Amino acid sequence: MRIDIITVLPEMLEGFVNESILARAQKKGLAEIHLHNLRDYTNDKWRRVDDYPYGGFAGMVMQCEPIDRAISALKAERDYDEVIYTSPDGERFDQHVANELSMKGNIIILCGHYKGIDQRVRDNLITREISIGDYVLTGGELAAAVMADAIVRIVPGVIGDEQSALSDCFQDDMLSAPIYTRPADYKGWKVPEVLLSGHEAKIKAWEMEQAMERTRRLRPDLLKD
């Protein structure tokens, strides 16, 4: 899959998209992540991409023209399944949305900034608005990074043990069970005996029981009525 991120701060994302799982996915040829500086698409000699809002409101607003040019330039090269705008009033990003987007071929993510973007961009160029939580960030770069990581890591083949991705928290609307590693006894803090038993069925039953208990206690909102 391919993710194109349009931003006024590409430097903020360069290190992130070229490390860890995202770097591995790109080296394997399973994903492409490209950063585009919105300022490269403006005719303003100062490379400005924002202006004052009509109506006398406070703050600065991202302009239509450079955003339209950036998106149009990308669309001239390939088809895109989604053009996503990172916005605090968009739909909530969760594991289900990540799973859905991981099945797409090409995605554009437009990072919001300043007070926001001209509404005409949202009305005519954006196919989907997504929020990573009910709070406001300085810009959409962190949201784009979160989405890219969550989406790419579940693309088949990115993680060596694909079952690891499938059993992550939230995949089945439940938190994961507690996990342990060696030593089996540290300062008297012991690993549950069932995990040392080698009895696969019992271990699976324990995992499900623990996952359900943790979800009820910590995130009861995830459990369906």
Backbone phi, then psi, for 117, in 5-degree steps?
Answer: -115, 155
Spatial distance between the Cα atoms of 2 and 36, rounded to a whole number of angstroms: 13
pLDDT tens digits along 64-96: 999 999 999 999 999 999 999 999 899 999 999
Q: Is the pLDDT score of 97 beyond 80?
A: yes
pLDDT at site 18? 95
Spatial distance between the Cα atoms of 222 and 42, rounded to a whole number of angstroms: 44
pLDDT at site 161? 61
- Residue 107 vs residues 4, 17, 81, 151: alpha-carbon distances, Å: 6, 15, 6, 11
Q: Is the pLDDT score of 162 beyond 60?
A: no
pLDDT at site 224? 74
What ranges do the domains of the chain cover? 2-152, 173-223
CATH number of 2-152: 3.40.1280.10
Q: 133 among the known binding-site residues?
A: yes
Q: 218 among the known binding-site residues?
A: no
Predicted TM-score (pTM) of this structure: 0.88
Q: 137 among the known binding-site residues?
A: yes
Q: Which CATH number fits domain 173-223: 1.10.150.120, 1.10.1270.20, 3.40.462.10, 3.60.15.10?
A: 1.10.1270.20
Q: 132 among the known binding-site residues?
A: yes
pLDDT tens digits along 103-129: 999 999 999 988 899 999 999 999 999
